[in-house]
């Protein structure tokens, strides 16, 4: 695996970006009866590599711009190996003193990077989805405790009904987290502007129409446009009503660590809870998410577990299980420690600023192409564009062809979306390896896919 890894990491720079096999051929390779007799480990690994490679999405390639993914720094990959090798159960201080202490240290580093108060509590989750769930569980605890209701003990039946105002630009996992917390019926969606930012006017309207416990969910880094909700004003409005502000900042949180874009997330530190992840923009392998909470008591109260056989940490030590819904889990703090130690604050700043500069360059170049329209203000690392098609072809048909041509061309990979009723292409720059040259190659590939689709239509 060590030899293979070296080749694989090198290939990622030049190799294709998308899979070359579909479900049927992958199944043909993998599917067999559960073997009665086992096979030698080395053969198994060979087989896995050969059968699995054709179906890989090379999201670690520097010209991969799909979803919001990012690659993996070699130091992070190596630390993931070490994490597996050590196989520490990262639940308690008692199950891994190293994992526990490293998590304490990493928590302080993250707080500093994001510019949050030093007593902010931190949990390391599987991803931002679980971080949203955790942050919102803390919110639920807090707004109900303020009304004298202990939700952890009594549940939700008979509880004072909270009102949850969620930006229409919020990620799907925010809505799902609220649903899993039993509060789907309390959601009121707040309208957004043409960039996907929460409209303050709409927020005011909802606030006037609501009473009781209040939670406001904002988006820092819209998944299509990268837009950031007006966090400062949202916090003012929620504070006036003793409400809790939760922010989904899956990738947007990292803007706080980039000097050139930090102003885009002004006011971020004033929220009550934040959900983000490291497996996207920080370029650590899947999976690694982070929840942060300005009210550590609420955070712990929402996640509290105890059992006779679990030995709680003493003397100020940390039990990671107190901060997330998981119990046994990977010692994910290790990869955070190693990656942040390797990059330093300056390295993180460079990664963030560089990605955003590349996104701006990409948008500027593509805007000059006939028939391409950039739909968003490129405030962070996301570029959203649409294509004006020839007569007789709808925008969505044309986009489908562009995506198809792009993926067949293999140089670059990007994913489609719909934006305010229009078929659009999203480009997300979040890979540590991406260079100015890669940006040029990606722009050329998107342009060629667009022109080719036009030509095919004309023919
Ligand atoms: C990816 C993403 C999520 C979900 O996070 P996971 O890490 O995939 O669990 C939530 N919000 C935004 C804006 C995202 O981009």
Strands of 84-231 (E only): list them. 121-125, 163-167, 187-190, 214-219
Rounded to the nearest angstrom, the distance between the alpha carbon of 177 and the centre of ligand 1 is 12
Rounded to the nearest angstrom, the distance between the alpha carbon of 33 and the centre of ligand 1 is 36
Residue with CA at minimum distance from ligand 1 atom 12 = 250
Measured from the CB, is residue 251 less than 6 Å from ligand 1? yes
pLDDT (tens digit per residue) in 112-149: 999 999 999 999 999 999 999 999 999 999 999 999 99
Measured from the CB, is residue 18 less than 6 Å from ligand 1? no
Atom in ligand 1 nearest the alpha carbon of residue 223: 13
124 close to 103: Cβ distance less than 8 angstroms:
yes
Rounded to the nearest angstrom, the distance between the alpha carbon of 129 and the centre of ligand 1 is 6
pLDDT band at residue 16 using 50, 70 and 90 as cut-offs: confident
* Whether pLDDT at 459 is above 70: no
Measured from the CB, is residue 129 less than 6 Å from ligand 1? yes
Q: Three-class SS string for 290-323?
A: EEEECCHHHHHHHHCCCCCCCCCCCCCCCCHHHH
Measured from the CB, is residue 224 less than 6 Å from ligand 1? no
Would you state the pLDDT for residue 13?
57
Atom in ligand 1 nearest the alpha carbon of residue 249: 13
Residue with CA at minimum distance from ligand 1 atom 5 = 128
Measured from the CB, is residue 173 less than 6 Å from ligand 1? yes
Would you state the pLDDT for residue 454?
80
Would you state the pLDDT for residue 305?
84
Measured from the CB, is residue 358 less than 6 Å from ligand 1? no
Rounded to the nearest angstrom, the distance between the alpha carbon of 267 and the centre of ligand 1 is 21
Measured from the CB, is residue 248 less than 6 Å from ligand 1? yes
Average pLDDT over the chain reads 95
Q: Which domains does the chain have, with CATH numbers?
A: 78-339 (3.40.640.10)
Residue with CA at minimum distance from ligand 1 atom 1 = 250
d(CA 51, CA 44): 10
pTM over 0.85: yes
Most distant pair of Cα atoms in the chain: their distance: 75
Measured from the CB, is residue 79 less than 6 Å from ligand 1? no
Rounded to the nearest angstrom, the distance between the alpha carbon of 422 and the centre of ligand 1 is 23
- Show Cβ contacts of residue 448 under 8 Å, excluding neighbours closer than 6 positions: 405, 409
pLDDT (tens digit per residue) in 20-59: 899 999 999 999 888 899 999 999 999 999 999 999 998 8
Rounded to the nearest angstrom, the distance between the alpha carbon of 276 and the centre of ligand 1 is 7
Beta bridge mates, 385: 374, 425
Residue with CA at minimum distance from ligand 1 atom 2 = 250
pLDDT (tens digit per residue) in 411-453: 999 999 999 999 999 999 999 999 999 999 999 999 999 998 8
Atom in ligand 1 nearest the alpha carbon of residue 248: 11
* Count of beta carbons in the 10 Å neighbourhood of residue 411: 18
d(CA 379, CA 196): 12
Rounded to the nearest angstrom, the distance between the alpha carbon of 43 and the centre of ligand 1 is 36
Residue with CA at minimum distance from ligand 1 atom 14 = 250
d(CA 316, CA 307): 19
Atom in ligand 1 nearest the alpha carbon of residue 130: 9
Residue 265's φ and ψ, nearest 5 degrees, are: -115, 30
b vs e for 170-190, b when ≥16 Cβ sit within 10 Å of the residue's Cβ?
bbebbbebbebbebeebbebb
Measured from the CB, is residue 250 less than 6 Å from ligand 1? yes
pLDDT (tens digit per residue) in 248-307: 999 999 999 999 999 999 999 999 999 999 999 999 999 999 999 999 999 999 998 888
């Amino acid at each position: 695996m060590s030899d293979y890894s070296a080749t694989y990491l090198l290939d990622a720079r030049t190799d294709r970006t998308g899979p070359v096999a579909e479900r049927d051929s992958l199944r043909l390779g993998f599917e067999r009866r559960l073997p009665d007799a086992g096979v030698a480990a080395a053969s198994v690994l060979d087989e896995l590599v050969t059968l699995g490679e054709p179906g890989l999405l090379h999201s670690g390639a520097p010209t991969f711009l799909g979803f919001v993914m990012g690659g993996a720094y070699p130091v992070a990959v190596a630390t993931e190996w070490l994490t597996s090798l050590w196989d520490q159960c990262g639940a308690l201080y008692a199950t891994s003193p190293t994992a526990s202490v490293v998590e304490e240290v990493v928590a302080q580093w993250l707080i500093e990077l994001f510019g949050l108060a030093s007593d902010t509590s931190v949990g390391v989750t599987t991803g931002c989805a679980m971080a949203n769930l955790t942050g919102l569980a803390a919110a639920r605890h807090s707004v109900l405790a303020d009304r004298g209701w202990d939700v952890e003990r009594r549940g939700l039946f008979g509880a004072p009904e909270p009102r949850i105002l969620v930006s229409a630009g919020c990620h799907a996992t925010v809505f799902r987290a609220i649903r899993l917390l039993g509060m789907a019926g309390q959601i009121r969606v707040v309208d957004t502007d043409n960039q996907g930012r929460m409209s303050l006017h709409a927020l005011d309207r909802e606030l006037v129409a609501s009473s009781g416990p209040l939670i406001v969910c904002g988006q820092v880094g819209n998944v299509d446009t990268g837009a950031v909700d007006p966090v400062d004003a949202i916090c003012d409005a929620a504070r006036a009503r003793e409400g809790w502000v939760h922010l989904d900042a899956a990738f947007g949180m990292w803007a706080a660590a980039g000097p050139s874009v930090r102003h885009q997330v002004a006011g971020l530190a004033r929220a009550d809870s934040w959900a983000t992840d490291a497996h996207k923009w920080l370029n650590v392998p899947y999976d690694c998410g982070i929840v942060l909470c300005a009210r550590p008591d609420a955070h712990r109260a929402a996640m509290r577990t105890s059992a006779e056989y679990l030995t709680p940490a003493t003397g100020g030590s940390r039990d990671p299980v107190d901060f997330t819904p998981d119990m046994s889990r990977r010692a994910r703090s290790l990869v955070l420690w190693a990656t942040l130690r390797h990059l330093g604050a300056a390295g993180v700043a460079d990664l963030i600023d560089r990605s955003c500069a590349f996104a701006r360059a990409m948008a500027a170049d593509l805007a000059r192409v006939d028939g391409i329209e950039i739909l968003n203000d490129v405030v962070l690392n996301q570029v959203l564009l649409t294509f004006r098609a020839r007569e007789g072809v709808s925008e969505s048909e044309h986009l489908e062809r562009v995506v198809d041509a792009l993926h067949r061309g293999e140089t670059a990979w990007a994913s489609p979306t719909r934006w305010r009723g229009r078929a659009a292409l999203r480009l997300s720059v979040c890979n540590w390896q991406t260079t100015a040259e890669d940006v040029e190659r990606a722009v050329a590939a998107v342009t060629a896919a667009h022109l080719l689709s036009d030509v095919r239509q004309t023919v």
